[in-house]
Structure 1
């Protein structure tokens, strides 16, 4: 009885993780750089430069935001294109995994018997894990780029020093939830006991003077000695 609640919990974790990953695609402030904001004057002026997967923006202390959208696909940087592709690929694999999870759960009446449901659920876990790995690779690639720019800014103070924004942390948390959901599903698949096989013992029955021996699917009919003796006497009487 513990398998159904664990499967439902795993499904909820996977769905929540994919929702978080999908939200990061539309969120701003993937990387943030701040200028100004230093004390020592009566008027504190600050400006923020931030970027996401689709545009670069500038925001001042009066909350005025000016953005420049990225151009066509072939003018975007290669690393940014790779991050987009990895995240979208992960979402597609996660969608397939979510659909297969519904067919592989025991609380649903579609998908076949227990063994077939286990295979479907294992396949769904494989899709979830592949999508999760794709998303983590995309986030790590973007984080690597942010860290590289940060280190270059330390060497050259004239460059902006970018920091990681909330969408990166949210995406990593979503990937962790997906991994935990897959672990719960794998525990239900591996914890199922194999079906036990029952062997039928041979049975012996007598009917109409004949002994019928049944063993498996083969039946052997053996005539009794009494019938053989009677037939021999009848033949001897006729001959005499």
Structure 2
């Protein structure tokens, strides 16, 4: 029961992290910048992996999609690939986890389910690492441009999507690690259940054989003591 509860907690953490990572792809604010007037903000510039937009003080947004994937900067292409890989790995990890967990009725024997659970945990860890790498790469580009005194173009700050992605990738890594470690508990339980008792079995057989011999001699009815009139 404790092992099953651990798997359920790890599964919830991993799926929650995968959902958070997946939600960052359509999120608008990967990086954001604003131009302040004397009283109110006159314009807000924001961008994500797919488009760049500007929102004026009335709330009207004008967006421009990136024209060509091949013409994009290298870090955006890398972030797209890493995030899509993270979502895909997390999806397959969720399927494997549902098959391999002890609370489900599919997957075969405990040994087989343990190996499937280990595979799901490994997929979740890889998913979290891909998402963490992509988001960190994007954030590094923003911070390097912001603190570069020779960068004269529009400077941006970290958007909300980056913090959501960091949190989701951390949950995926933690949950996946717990699922991987659960395989060791399954192996230990199998070793205890199928421990070798050969020496005890041989000893028991010899003891039973000696007891049978003693019982046979006792039932023969031979007198143990004889007095002087025994043959009279």
Under a length normalisation based on structure 2, what TM-score does the superposition of the two structures give? 0.79
Within 5 Å, give how 1:89-238 maps onto structure 2.
Answer: 89-152=85-148, 154-156=149-151, 158-192=152-186, 193=188, 194=191, 195=193, 196-199=195-198, 200-201=201-202
Q: Which moved more, 1:15-24 or 1:179-188?
A: 179-188
Q: Distance in 2 between matches of 1:44 and 1:186?
A: 52
**C-alpha separation between the residues in 2 aligned to 1:4 and 1:103?**
13
Q: Quote the residue 1:55 is aligned against.
A: 51
Matched, 1:17 2:22: no
| TM value normalised by structure 1 | 0.77
Tell me by how many angstroms 1:25 deviates.
0.1
CA distance in structure 2 between the partners assigned to 1:126 and 1:2 by the alignment: 21
- C-alpha RMSD of matched pairs (Å): 2.0
Q: Give the helix-richer structure, 1 or 2.
A: 2
Structure 2: how far apart are the matches of 1:45 and 1:111? 57
How far is the alpha carbon of 1:187 from its aligned partner? 3.7
User: Take 1:176 and 1:137, find their aligned partners in 2: how far apart are those partners?
Assistant: 11
Task: Indicate the SS of the match to 2:25.
Answer: helix
Report the Cα distance in structure 2 between the residues aligned to 1:175 and 1:44, rounded to whole angstroms: 36
Which structure 2 residue ranges, 5 or more long, are not aligned?
Answer: 210-232
Q: How many corresponding residue pairs?
A: 200
Q: Quick check: 2:118–2:181 contact (8 Å CA) kept in 1? A: no
Q: Per-residue deviation at 1:55? A: 0.5
How far off is 1:189 after superposition?
Answer: 2.2
Cα 1:126/1:61, change in 2 over 3 Å: same
Question: In structure 2, how many angstroms separate the alpha carbons of the residues matched to 1:176 and 1:104?
Answer: 22
- Which structure has the bigger radius of gyration? 1
Which residues of structure 1 form unaligned runs of 5+?
207-240
Structure 2 CA distance for partners of 1:44 and 1:104, relative to 1, 3 Å = closer
Q: 1 or 2, which has the higher strand percentage?
A: 1
2:119 and 2:180 in contact (8 A); partners too: no
Greater RCO structure (CA 8 Å; 6+ sep) = 2
- In structure 2, relative to structure 1, the CA distance for the partners of 1:45 and 1:125 (3 Å cut) is closer
Aligned position for 2:224: none
Please name the residue that 1:214 is paired with: none
Deviation for aligned residue 1:129:
1.1
Counterparts of 2:124 and 2:197, CA distance in 1: 37
Q: Is the 8 A contact 2:34 2:41 kept in 1?
A: no
